[in-house]
Amino acid sequence: MPIAALVAFLFSLALKLQGPGTEEVSVPDNSYILGPGDRIVVRCLNTDEVSPAPIRIDNDGRVTLPYVGRITLGGLTINDAEKGVADKLSRFIQHPEVELSVVESHSQPVSVFGAVKNPGAYQLEGRKTLIEVLAMAGGLRPDAGQTLKLTRRQEWGVFPSSTSDQRSVGDVTVAEISIDELVRGRSPFSDIVLHPHDVVSVSQAELVYVIGQVRKPGGFPMSGPADFSVLQALSLAEGLDRTAAPKKAVILRKQGSAGRIEVPVNLERILAGRAPDTRMEAEDVLFIPNNAAKSAGMKTLDTILQTTTGMAIYGRY
């Protein structure tokens, strides 16, 4: 028999030997807590009466098994569930050997929203920390802000005492965690273990805009814990264009109902180190005119802003 045909035969034989309903997934460890909606397979190696077909845990956390009848498995770890089933079977079978595996997990969802690459609901399937769940969601987007919020049902208690910024709102507890401290490992206690139905909401960074005579105008996230400055914004815009007039640069800053005020910025002196860098605020617009009259460019500011705001935010995705 040709090698390819032999391999195909052996593969099909292995599938047949598995029998029906053995498509169970791998659970990281036996600390997984079973719950309503989970599909499981229960085997007893001492008897054929316990079918290996998948069964779903009911909303009340119970399943029906031969000999055993109705038994509560919800809220138990896999190890404890195996011991509980074996204890019930021991009345009818000597030294029953029970194996329980999870086919589909539906009882331990956590939700991840905000500035992550793949927001949605994920199953914990065992012990998972905050960083591990963020990795499951594809990690942080470049426009992630400086904090994230965790919302937890009070049935799971409060967050660890190391998570100091937390408060109770109705029947949930909300905590705020610094993303910078979490991802840089500056506060390892921030990487807490998550529980079912936790909600992780990653904030999105505020934006600043750079328009005018730069190589790449656009909106840019104010990432990082430190104050955001003109030079940082200029760096993200890939520097000045050759036709720029850095002495005439201005920051256009929102000020209530008065619209925007102008804050003069002499970029030439800042770049030469003769003047301190200027701090920028959220929604600031750094406008760098060309060598022509400044007023000519300012007349079209509204049009430029609308175009820039509609552009893809550089580095955002």
Residue 67 resides in a domain = yes
- Each of the 317 residues of the chain gets a pLDDT tens digit; together they read 443 343 334 334 433 444 443 344 444 456 788 888 899 999 988 888 787 889 999 999 999 998 889 999 998 989 999 999 999 999 988 899 999 999 888 888 999 999 999 999 998 877 889 999 999 999 999 889 888 999 999 888 888 766 667 888 888 999 999 888 888 776 667 888 999 899 999 999 889 999 999 999 999 998 765 678 999 999 999 999 999 999 999 999 988 777 889 999 999 999 999 999 999 999 999 999 998 654 444 445 555 555 554 444 444 44
Of 204, 220, 248, the last residue of a domain is: 204
Q: Are residues 154 and 93 in the same domain?
A: no
Q: pLDDT at position 305, please?
A: 56
Q: Are residues 260 and 301 in the same domain?
A: yes
Residue 191 resides in a domain = yes
Residue 282 resides in a domain = yes
SS (H, E, C) the chain: CCHHHHHHHHHHHHHHHHCCCCCCCCCCCCCCECCCCCEEEEEECCCCCCCCCCEECCCCCEEEECCCEEEECCCCEHHHHHHHHHHHHCCCCCCCCEEEEEEECCCCEEEEEECECCCEEEECCCCCEHHHHHHHCCCECCCEEEEEEEEEEHHHCCCCCCCCCEEEECCEEEEEEEHHHHHCCCCHHHCCECCCCCEEEEEECCEEEEEECECCCEEEECCCCCCCEHHHHHHHCCCECCCECHHHCEEEEECHHHCEEEEECCHHHHHCCCCCCCECCCCCEEEECECCCHHHHHCCHHHHHHHHHHCCCCCCC
Residue 7 resides in a domain = no
Q: Are residues 211 and 305 in the same domain?
A: yes
Q: Are residues 175 and 89 in the same domain?
A: no
Residue 315 resides in a domain = no
Residue 214 resides in a domain = yes
Q: Are residues 48 and 117 in the same domain?
A: no
Q: Which CATH number covers residue 43?
A: 3.30.1950.10
Q: Are residues 88 and 51 in the same domain?
A: yes
* Domain boundaries, position 49: 29-104
Q: Are residues 162 and 247 in the same domain?
A: no
Q: Are residues 258 and 302 in the same domain?
A: yes
pTM of the model: 0.65
Q: Are residues 37 and 65 in the same domain?
A: yes
In the chain, how many domains are there? 3
